[in-house]
Amino acid sequence: MSTDQIFQKDQENSNIVRNVNELRAKVKDWQGDGLQVGLVPTMGGIHAGHLSLVHKSAEIADRTVASIFVNPTQFAPHEDLESYPRDENADASALTAAGADLIFCPSATEMYPEGFQTSISVNTVSTGLCGTSRPHFFGGVATVVCKLLNQCGPDMALFGEKDYQQLLVIRRMTQDLDMPVEIVGAPIIREKDGLAMSSRNVYLSAEERRVATTLNQEMSKAIALLAGGNDVPFCIAGLRAKLLENGFTDIDYLEVRNGHDLTPITSGSVRKLESPRLFAAAQLGRTRLIDNMAIFKE
């Protein structure tokens, strides 16, 4: 997009800011007036899951900033950085209609100017689950979220439990680095048939979409078995077999872990354990789906 086109677009969407100074000035003004500011970081491809975070922020904070930035450092070279859904106008309008007061859309050079060389690594909680097949991922996420928090200086920042490990990585980072922000988690928003909403669901063909819905359904059945006291390996093996039978092309992981710190639970029953959670990542053609569910009602 040319500079003229960006300028014209920004005239139409006067709540879009593109550089850190403008963002800081606005947030400082609000906080100077005693208002609490919530930040909702997104990569665009806006759906009802993102909007639920904006709604929640509008409930618990006085002003909401939503960011749209497709962060290159969390994609591996073979991943979908180029094809990731991008429609800034539609995304900014949807976020604004949901209650965002300001949309921060930095360019890649605003975020990573020449000479940039720092990265944040959060150790234990980033290992396993998505950290195994996407070893670059949590470093990229932690670094960009750290930057967004420093740039915006919100009182709170909201993240979805859809990316549960990411939520815990960010909680750990903000605690470890004494960042003065409250991290608020929010429940997974699902399609009517149970599929967790995701910007990447648009990649699914009609047939894949039909298979995709069985991830949540089979996980729910496995959870009933786990909650009933069946051994973890038995339930996981059954779930794996069922998903492959249904048409998933590969299973990245199916694991039960403690929902507070992600300690793996690999044997026995979960009946007497605190906050066990089932985590899944499965491949359907070119699309990788993730989901997670608490085994006992929280």
Q: SS3 of 178, please?
A: coil
Interaction between residue 291 and ligand AMP (CB under 6 A): no
Q: Pick the closest to residue 192 from 212, 170, 172 (CA basis).
A: 212
> In what helix (H) or strand (E) does residue 5 lie, and over which residues does it extend?
helix 3-12
Q: How far is the CB of 66 from ligand AMP (least distance, A)?
A: 9
In 57-108, which ranges are E strands? 63-68, 102-104
Measured from the CB atom, is 42 or 214 closer to ligand AMP?
Answer: 42
In the bound complex, what is the minimum distance in angstroms from residue 148's beta carbon to ligand AMP?
Answer: 11
| Burial 131-165, CB ≥16 within 10 A → b, else e | beebeebbbbbbbbbbbbbebbbbbbbbbbbbbbb
The residue within the footprint of ligand AMP, chosen from 162, 240, 277, 288 (CB under 6 A), is 162
- Residue 184: CB partners within 8 Å, gap ≥ 6? 38, 56, 57, 60, 156, 157, 158, 159
In the bound state with ligand AMP, the residue whose beta carbon lies nearer, of 40 and 232, is 40
Q: Are strands 276-284 and 287-294 parallel, antiparallel or unpaired?
A: antiparallel
Binding flag, residue 154, ligand AMP (CB under 6 A): no
Q: State the DSSP H helix or E strand holding residue 9, giving kind and residue range, or none if neither.
A: helix 3-12
In the complex, minimum distance from the CB of residue 11 to ligand AMP, in angstroms, rounded to a whole number: 26
CA distance 60 to 54: 10
Retrieve residue 279's tokens: 């985590």
Interacting residue with ligand AMP among 91, 101, 163, 255 (CB under 6 A)? 163
Q: What tokens appear for 16 in the block? A: 């879009």
Segment interacting with ligand AMP, rule: CB under 6 A, options 25-33, 86-94, 104-112, 157-165: 157-165
The catalytic site residues sit at: 50
Task: Assess 165 for contact with ligand AMP (CB under 6 A).
Answer: no
Asked if residue 99 binds ligand AMP (CB under 6 A), the reply is no
Query: Which of positions 31-50 make contact with ligand AMP (CB under 6 A)?
Result: 42-43, 49-50
CA atoms of 107 and 111, how far apart (whole Å)? 6
Asked whether position 289 contacts ligand AMP by CB under 6 A, the answer is no
Task: Pick between residue 240 and residue 257 the one whose CB is nearest to ligand AMP.
Answer: 257
User: Which positions from 181 to 220 touch ligand AMP by CB under 6 A, shown as an x/- string?
Assistant: -----x-xx------xxxx---------------------
Which is closer to ligand AMP, CB of 143 or CB of 198? 198
Contacting residues toward ligand AMP, per CB under 6 A:
42-43, 49-50, 52-53, 159-160, 162-163, 186, 188-189, 196-199
